[in-house]
Chain A
Amino acid sequence: MQPAPTTSPEPTVLEKVIAFVDERVGLKTIQAKMLNEPVPGGSRWAYIFGSVLLFIFIMQAVTGILLMFYYVPTADHAYASTQYIIHDVDYGWFLLSYHFWGSSAMVVCVFAHMSQVFLWGAYKKPREMIWLVGLALFGIVMGFGFTGYLLPWDQRAYWATTVGVEIMDKTPLLGDFMARFLKGGPTPGQMTLSRFFVIHVMILPAALMGLAGLHLFLFRTAGPAGPFRGTPEELKAKTDYFFPRQVWKDIVGMVTVFLGICTLAFWEPVVLLEEATPDPGDYHPEPEWYFLFLFQLLRLKIFSGEFGQFLGAIALPGAFMALLAALPFIDRDPERNIFKRPVALIGWIVVMTTILIFTVSAIINREFLD
């Protein structure tokens, strides 16, 4: 049976254009090479998170560009222009809320993707570099969330950023320099807003696109790791190509995420607090939900005092990230089955549970702040 469909006698215009380009560029071969990647053990729903992250990023870029049609990053107009988007521009509230919830979705999917890679042992040889680039991408996603949060210039934005940058100040040696660099001065103001805007809108997107491209290239070179168990016969029987089956699953994942974000935009549209002022008044500063666990951690007494704050804010998270980076080099056992890697499994459960507990604690703690 010929895999290619029988061609009709007279090729259509589209087919002729494709043939023209293909003759010069090898389009069909390139397309086949990109799409016909055999996925051992078959396409899986567990593998969708990488593509879903790419989709979310594209949607964030699109909604972000649209927001920039009306938003101005100046201290006198940032708040007013954001309110204009929410209340006056048609569907502005929806696009802004989509952008806001999209960033949360991105963080959730990053955690899911990292967890999937970790549990499947897909950071082990020969995939160490993919893991390292992935960690850099994780940092970039967090950076996006942090810088974007300031832009509406309401009380929540201003004070969350102030607290966040103060934490960074605790880094030894470089802390003061980094904090002043980000703030554009000793205290947050217009300079801060301009710098955060440039970082959020130009620097981080460029970095993300470059590193994501590298991440994909390294992944294709190494090939998908596939499931961690299964006989060769089973793997072979279920093998199919990236396109169309895995692509199809990726798309369904994207649809679900897209609809989910739209639903969240409806349930909780973005509402701004009062415009930022140097006096916090009754407002209790708080970072975005995905930083809450760190925020709560710093409230513990063992992290009080200058050294304590350094320990909790810089040393501990830094050490944890260093551990993650070193992971493929420490864990050299080629075993990938998570149920045969008790240290990894328990470690993952402990970390996730700790993050969950401290996040919920931060929410409960709100009632005790007055």
Chain B
Amino acid sequence: MTQPKLKSKVRCKDREIGEVSKVIVDPLSHEISHIVVSMNGSGERQVPMGQVESVTDDLVALRTLSAELLALPPFKRDDYVTTHEVEIAHLEEKVHVAPGEVLVPLPELEKSVKRRTFFMNLTHVIGFLIGLPIAFPVLRYLMKPMYAPFDNSWLKIGNVSKIKQEDVGVQFKYKRTVKEAYMPEAEIEKNVWILKATPAVLDKVYQGKDMEFRDAAGKTVWTNKKDMPYVAFSGKCPHLGCGYKWRQHKLLGQVFLCPCHLSIYDAAGKVLDGPAPRPLDALPIKVSAGGDVEIIDMEFKAGTKTQIRII
């Protein structure tokens, strides 16, 4: 028997009753199991294919009388889903109905909304709980090298005999060993500017207070006494980290001058001109009786008004 077409007329034994509005397919056998007959406004009825006597091009003839058909329960559309909403492989090969509404029954177990929502939510909860235990370890893992503790060891960088004049910046070059993670120890070259300051300049640097340097926990590591004449400035410009020089300026006299963006500082490190957000960063310094200078190598975040130590 050819498959019934949508929109073909349906006739019972006694009279024409309506047309085929939908077709229902069995999901396992891929055969048409029922047709849904729309009775010209008086509702729809679901008719099993067993009751179909013959199918011609645009007519489906039923074995039953119209009264029997009307006595059937009304068609429940909610018990079914369209073939767009369900994945049934190779269905089109067997069902040759012109496009319209081809329906597939909703499995009995899926009809419970409570069940469906429960398992959906449970799946989400479990999925969330799978990721949760590793979220924290992964975060710590990735953050390991980001906040390395500071190295507050003293480095010998030279002797003050190198400084011949007061209030004049003298560059001291030194080497610092670094060990990064699993890499072998390496040496990097750094420099500081050291000044033998007159009391006036010293006062400008310290402004009457001893300079305290603390570690990450807040404990004081060292205090630069305000009357110690030697001042060490970090070799990196506080603007963006370039190395600066001691130069003769046309108008301002002898100054620290940064070639990158032309920040200018006086002998006490105060900003005279340029984009620098704060004065030169002073470092912990101690000078031995023999004149040997030691500093603690520190680096500070560039471009900020407040001084934030990073190394």
* A34, A80, A239, most chain B CB atoms within 10 A: A239
Q: Is A244 in contact with B123, judged by CB distance below 8 angstroms?
A: yes
* A2, A29, A38, most chain B CB atoms within 10 A: A38
How near does chain B come to A279, taking the closest CB pair, in angstroms?
A: 23
Interface residues of B in 70-121 (CB under 8 A from A): 78, 81, 84-90, 106-111, 113, 116-117, 119-120
User: Interface with B: A170-178, A191-199, A252-260, A323-331, which one?
Assistant: A252-260
Partner of A88, one of B90, B111, B126, B181: B181
Chain B neighbourhood of A95, CB < 8 A:
134, 137-138, 141
Q: Is A40 in contact with B28, judged by CB distance below 8 angstroms?
A: yes
Interface SS majority for chain A = helix
Chain A neighbourhood of B142, CB < 8 A:
66, 69
B133 within 8 A of A: yes
Q: Is A33 in contact with B84, judged by CB distance below 8 angstroms?
A: yes
**Given that A223-B90, A244-B123, A247-B123 are contacting pairs, would A90 and B140 also be in contact in the complex, using a CB cutoff of 8 Å?**
yes
Chain A neighbourhood of B119, CB < 8 A:
244-245, 247-248
CB nearest to A33 among chain B residues: B87
Chain B neighbourhood of A83, CB < 8 A:
182
Q: Give the CA-CA distance A91 to B111 in the complex, in Å.
A: 46
Chain A neighbourhood of B50, CB < 8 A:
none
Q: Give the CA-CA distance A36 to B83 in the complex, in Å.
A: 10
User: Interface with B: A103-111, A207-215, A230-238, A270-278, which one?
Assistant: A230-238
Q: Is B27 in contact with A3, judged by CB distance below 8 angstroms?
A: no
B253 within 8 A of A: no
Chain A neighbourhood of B27, CB < 8 A:
38, 40, 239
Q: Is B86 in contact with A91, judged by CB distance below 8 angstroms?
A: no
Q: Is B182 in contact with A77, judged by CB distance below 8 angstroms?
A: yes
A241 within 8 A of B: yes
Q: Is A251 in contact with B107, judged by CB distance below 8 angstroms?
A: no
Q: Is A3 in contact with B106, judged by CB distance below 8 angstroms?
A: yes
A364 within 8 A of B: no
Q: Give the CA-CA distance A2 to B76 in the complex, in Å.
A: 10
Q: Is B120 in contact with A254, judged by CB distance below 8 angstroms?
A: no
Q: Is A32 in contact with B141, judged by CB distance below 8 angstroms?
A: no
How near does chain A come to B241, taking the closest CB pair, in angstroms?
A: 25
Partner of B126, one of A40, A223, A252: A252
* A70, A220, A232, most chain B CB atoms within 10 A: A70
Q: Is B123 in contact with A251, judged by CB distance below 8 angstroms?
A: yes
Chain A neighbourhood of B28, CB < 8 A:
40, 232, 235-236, 239
Interface residues of A in 29-56 (CB under 8 A from B): 29, 32-34, 36-38, 40, 42
Chain B neighbourhood of A242, CB < 8 A:
87
CB nearest to A39 among chain B residues: B107
Q: Give the CA-CA distance A350 to B144 in the complex, in Å.
A: 50
Q: Mask for A65-91, Cβ within 8 A of B = 1, else 0?
A: 010011000000100110110001111
Chain A neighbourhood of B290, CB < 8 A:
none
A5 within 8 A of B: yes
Q: Give the CA-CA distance A88 to B144 in the complex, in Å.
A: 9
How near does chain B come to A342, taking the closest CB pair, in angstroms?
A: 28
A94 within 8 A of B: yes
Chain A neighbourhood of B182, CB < 8 A:
77, 80-81, 83-84, 88
Q: Is A36 in contact with B86, judged by CB distance below 8 angstroms?
A: yes
B183 within 8 A of A: yes
Q: Is B141 in contact with A77, judged by CB distance below 8 angstroms?
A: no
Interface residues of B in 229-262 (CB under 8 A from A): none
Q: Give the CA-CA distance A2 to B89 in the complex, in Å.
A: 26
Q: How many residues from B make CB contacts under 8 Å with A?
A: 41
Chain B neighbourhood of A37, CB < 8 A:
86-87
Partner of A240, one of B109, B134, B183: B109
Q: Is B141 in contact with A223, judged by CB distance below 8 angstroms?
A: no
B216 within 8 A of A: no
Q: Give the CA-CA distance A88 to B182 in the complex, in Å.
A: 9
How near does chain B come to A275, taking the closest CB pair, in angstroms?
A: 12
How near does chain B come to A243, taking the closest CB pair, in angstroms?
A: 7
Interface residues of B in 160-203 (CB under 8 A from A): 181-183
Q: Give the CA-CA distance A262 to B87 in the complex, in Å.
A: 36
Q: Is B85 in contact with A36, judged by CB distance below 8 angstroms?
A: yes
Q: Is B130 in contact with A32, judged by CB distance below 8 angstroms?
A: no
Interface residues of B in 266-287 (CB under 8 A from A): none
A92 within 8 A of B: yes
Q: Give the CA-CA distance A117 to B146 in the complex, in Å.
A: 48
Interface residues of B in 120-139 (CB under 8 A from A): 120, 122-123, 126-127, 129-130, 133-134, 137-138
Q: Is B126 in contact with A89, judged by CB distance below 8 angstroms?
A: no
Q: Is A239 in contact with B137, judged by CB distance below 8 angstroms?
A: no
How near does chain A come to B108, taking the closest CB pair, in angstroms?
A: 7
CB nearest to B80 among chain A residues: A3
Q: Is A92 in contact with B107, judged by CB distance below 8 angstroms?
A: no
How near does chain B come to A349, taking the closest CB pair, in angstroms?
A: 32
Chain B neighbourhood of A248, CB < 8 A:
119, 122-123, 126
**Given that A3-B113, A244-B120 are contacting pairs, would A70 and B181 also be in contact in the complex, using a CB cutoff of 8 Å?**
yes
A1 within 8 A of B: yes
CB nearest to B91 among chain A residues: A223
Q: Is A3 in contact with B109, judged by CB distance below 8 angstroms?
A: no
CB nearest to B124 among chain A residues: A251
Q: Is A90 in contact with B107, judged by CB distance below 8 angstroms?
A: no
Chain A neighbourhood of B89, CB < 8 A:
220-223
Chain B neighbourhood of A237, CB < 8 A:
108
* B107, B110, B122, B133, most chain A CB atoms within 10 A: B107
How near does chain B come to A260, taking the closest CB pair, in angstroms?
A: 13
**Given that A2-B78, A29-B84 are contacting pairs, would A238 and B109 also be in contact in the complex, using a CB cutoff of 8 Å?**
yes
Q: Is B86 in contact with A38, judged by CB distance below 8 angstroms?
A: yes
Q: Is B116 in contact with A244, judged by CB distance below 8 angstroms?
A: yes
How near does chain A come to B269, taking the closest CB pair, in angstroms?
A: 38
Question: What are 19 inter-chain pairs, A to B, with CB distance below 8 A?
Answer: A2-B78, A33-B86, A36-B81, A37-B87, A40-B28, A42-B109, A66-B138, A81-B181, A90-B141, A91-B141, A92-B141, A95-B134, A223-B87, A223-B88, A239-B28, A239-B107, A239-B108, A251-B127, A252-B126
> Which 3 residue pairs spanning A and B have beta carbons closest together?
A244-B119, A223-B89, A91-B137
